[in-house]
Structure 1
Amino acid sequence: MKSSKSLAGLASLSGLVYSTEAGRMCPACRQALTACVCGKPSLPKGDGIVRVSRETKGRAGKGVTLVKGVPLDEAELMALGKTLKTACGSGGTVKDGMIEIQGDHRERVIELLKKQGRWTVKQAGG
């Protein structure tokens, strides 16, 4: 026999998960997933300066160029990362709001970002 406390706990877990009108529903805000705003990340907040640096930590001595502080959403950041990687002729990735480009391409990346004229670009580190 279940106690009233455990039944009350189970009742709090229930909620609308799917609606025939809107499809899947967000359990937090109870809106359709397409209209949900609670789970969407906002643009990274910063001081408005894009910083370009070189880092070797955790990469077995291999250097990468990091671009941090670009105020773009994920899709635009991916497109900018692809453009920079192509211009540098190198591989890389976009993760955690940063663009990583394999190798030391700081000067070229700074030049390309300044040409766009959208942000203040500075070299960080040595």
Structure 2
Amino acid sequence: MSRVVYSTDSGRMCPECEQPEAKCQCKAVEAVSLTDGVVRLRLDRKRKGAGVSQIEGLGIAGAELKKLAKELKAKCATGGAIKDGVVEIQGDHRERLKSLLEAKGYTVKLAGG
């Protein structure tokens, strides 16, 4: 049995789930299983402007994570992204995000940053 490791259409392929690396489901499952149940909020000021509020340890992946990120961005009236399972919200919205996530039942800790 031969496995595809590279495709001219998609680039590198994951050997486990045989999906393009960008859409790999194995990494998402691995990231979800590494959470300790505490969501950590941190402000990353390494970029220009007001920084980025980062949310780690949500324990969800895929479409569910995208849906939550979209909801949080809308409540904070700002943009953001998901990078390697970490939700990034533009600006310093840690206190607002903490209250929103606690209302959803998450245990939230403000981490240094």
Using structure 2 for the length normalisation, give the TM-score: 0.73
Say how many residue pairs are matched. Answer: 97
Structure 2 counterparts to residues 16-55 of structure 1, below 5 A: 40-41=25-26, 42=29, 43-55=32-44
Structure 1 residues 48 and 40: alpha-carbon distance in aligned structure 2, compared to 1, 3 A threshold: same
Please list every run of at least 4 consecutive aligned residues from structure 1 whose deviation after the TM superposition is greater than 6 angstroms. Answer: none
Unpaired runs of 5+ residues, structure 2, are 5-12
Q: 1:15 is aligned with what amino acid?
A: S
Higher helix share: 2
State the structure with bigger RCO (CA 8 A, min sep 6), 1 or 2: 2
Q: Give, in angstroms, the shift of residue 60 of structure 1.
A: 2.6
Say whether residues 1:124 and 2:111 are aligned partners. yes
Identity of aligned residues (%): 43
- Select which of 33, 45, 56 maps to 2:45: 56
- Select which of 70, 95, 99 maps to 2:58: 70
Decide which structure has the larger Cα Rg and report it.
1
Q: Give, in angstroms, the shift of residue 73 of structure 1.
A: 1.5
Q: Give, in angstroms, the shift of residue 28 of structure 1.
A: 5.2
Unpaired runs of 5+ residues, structure 1, are 1-13, 18-25
Using structure 1 for the length normalisation, give the TM-score: 0.66
- Computed over aligned residues only, the root mean square deviation of the Cα atoms, in angstroms, reads 2.7
